[in-house]
Amino acid sequence: MDRIVVTPRSMTSPPHAALERLRRAGYEVVMPTPGEQPDERRLIGALAEAVGYLAGVEKVSRAVLEAAPRLRVISRNGVGIDNVDMEAARERGVQVMRAEGVNARGVAELTIAHMLAACRRMDFHHSTLKNHAWQRRKGIELNGRTVGIVGCGRIGRAVAELCLAFGMTVRAFDPYVDAGFRPAGNFGFVSLDELLQTADILSLHAPVPEDGVALLDAAAFARMKAGVMIVNTARFELLDAQAVRAALEDGTVAVLTLDAFQAEPPEDWSLIDHENVIATPHIGGFTVESVERVTQVSIENLLRVLSRQAEGG
């Protein structure tokens, strides 16, 4: 029986009912680390005989792909594929599929929640009140503030529309400008340099640059307004860890919020422990609706490729 390996945590703990569709199609379903992100060693062991791989955000290295001689398709349960060694996949004829747009709403709504939490310091007020201390910090309102959106794909566009509904000025940077996106309100595309200089809040929705260099490094922080808030619900690697830590210390960044990390769970908690960092454990697409959509689409993508290849297409 041909094997399909399933690793996304949202699908494996507990096992999503839709995975029965793979079994009904005649495949053995293997979940090597239910509820956990597999490391390279476990991936190599699980994929040795697999023809299909329903993948999460774990790193899919060349070593992993070279250890999977029968693998024909990787179906991501999301849009990002920067965790996959695409060159190695192409060399081995492994097709990589994305579940595009299915979790955009969930991530966009969490982004707004992060913005509100940062502006009103919900972390501080929650923890002090839970400790029976009555302390207050003055917040700011979103209305009238300028938000800079880095990456204006499906998620970025959804965030822009939500921010406009709050009465914000929205400026966006994307190397591929969608001229057809013209939401009602104070919206416009600008250069990254202008974005960094004018934003009160920066919201990141871009892939990691192909060269692997962080988009926000020390030079980028030097161009920002003092007291900027940064919301990162995309990829941690968009930030230079040392530079953002320095920017938090000198007040350039008033608050940093994170929903993505270099390792999950994190191996280094020092940034999360900073008093001006608000973090959530990668829950952007972890809603009832998003999980259902992404599961159905990623399974459909997987079966479609396997069926087409079985027919010689």
Catalytic residue among 264, 274, 292, 300: 264
Catalytic residue list contains 126 = no
Question: Is residue 121 among the annotated active site residues?
Answer: no
Cβ density class 113-123: b for 16+ within 10 Å, e for less: bbbebbbbbeb
264 is known as an active-site residue: yes
Question: Which among 76, 235, 237, 293 is annotated as catalytic?
Answer: 235
Judge contact between 34 and 56, C-beta under 8 A: no
Active-site residue list:
235, 264, 282
